[in-house]
Structure 1
Amino acid sequence: MDFKVPSKWYRRAVGGLEIFCGAAMAFVPNHKVKNASNVCLLLLTLLAVYCHCMVADKLERTAPTLVFLFLLSGRLVVYFQVQRREEAMAEPVTNGVKQE
């Protein structure tokens, strides 16, 4: 493909999305919005890791991106574990057997 995105547009788009998603995660109380923002940031971080690999950056330059990737992944995993636990606690249990 001969389509090339100018670096100025790329930086502005990624930076704007990061600010928007970060503000949504910090200030919006709705869990669906927080999870959508988390997934968006996770995809942006995966793109950043890919870019670091393509330009053959050393680990010292890639490490902050990897840490942020692990933090975002951990937040999603913890949210889904808590949600699963709450759903399991809400199901009625009789004599150790779940009702269907």
Structure 2
Amino acid sequence: MTKLVLNSLNILLGLFFIFLGVLKISPLISRELHKDLRSEYAKYAKVFPLAKALQFKIPSKWFRRVMGGSEIFSGFLLLLIPNRNLKNFGNILLFERMAPSLVFFFMLMCRLVVDWQYYKHKDDPVNVEVSGQFDELPTKPNPMKPPAQKSGAKSNGGKSSKKNQ
């Protein structure tokens, strides 16, 4: 069950981030949304954290392309690459990018936790002691039937009659 959840999260998150990355890089999916993203990234590039310290201004076009490319790259890692370490690298790369969004923060954290639990339990050896007979199934008393007597005598509800004697 855990592997199913992990694979579902990998597929859904991978497809979603590939979709977002393509939206940021090209107007193939939606011209209006791409235009809005371009104007938003123009604002983001102005408040880039290290721009004043490094005295280097990042063009919004390249900032948007790098972010879109990293989302596409990480989405493909989650979607297609079977290596667990590379999937976790893609997850952490997306986590660093999408941490401000609360929903994606929880989805990416959920994926990491499920991955950790799955491989933790996969590596643990399971020692189960088997005892008893496999030919017989334990019987449970039926509440609708009174229990049968093993002595061979029929039960009359505690009354004796001349027919039974």
Q: Same fold (TM over 0.5)?
A: yes
Normalising by structure 1, we get a TM-score of 0.66
How far does the alpha carbon of each residue in 1:34-75 deviate from its partner, in whole angstroms, 9 at most, with x for none?
1111111111113xx2xxxxxxxxxxxxxxx22111101110
d(CA) in 1 for partners of 2:121, 2:59? 46
Between the two proteins, what is the percent identity of the paired residues? 41
How far does the alpha carbon of each residue in 1:3-53 deviate from its partner, in whole angstroms, 9 at most, with x for none?
22122111110000101110111011111111111111111113xx2xxxx
Q: Which has the higher contact order (CA 8 A, sep 6+)?
A: 2
Equivalent AA in structure 2 for residue 16 of structure 1? G
Matched position secondary structure for 2:125: helix
RMSD of aligned Cα (Å): 2.0
Q: Unaligned regions of 5+ residues in structure 2, if any?
A: 1-52, 129-165
Superposed counterparts of 1:43-62, under 5 Å: 43-46=96-99, 49=100
Q: Which has the higher helix share?
A: 1
Equivalent AA in structure 2 for residue 25 of structure 1? L
Equivalent AA in structure 2 for residue 17 of structure 1? S
**Alignment-derived partner of residue 79 in structure 1:** 115
Normalising by structure 2, we get a TM-score of 0.42
Equivalent AA in structure 2 for residue 75 of structure 1? R
Residues 1:14 and 2:50 aligned together = no
Runs of 4 or more consecutive aligned structure 1 residues displaced over 4 Å after TM superposition: none
Equivalent AA in structure 2 for residue 26 of structure 1? L
**Alignment-derived partner of residue 42 in structure 1:** 95
Residues 1:70 and 2:106 aligned together = yes
Residue 78 (structure 2) aligned to one of 1, 25, 29: 25
**Alignment-derived partner of residue 4 in structure 1:** 57
d(CA) in 1 for partners of 2:61, 2:114? 36
d(CA) in 2 for partners of 1:89, 1:7? 52
Equivalent AA in structure 2 for residue 11 of structure 1? R
Larger Rg: 2
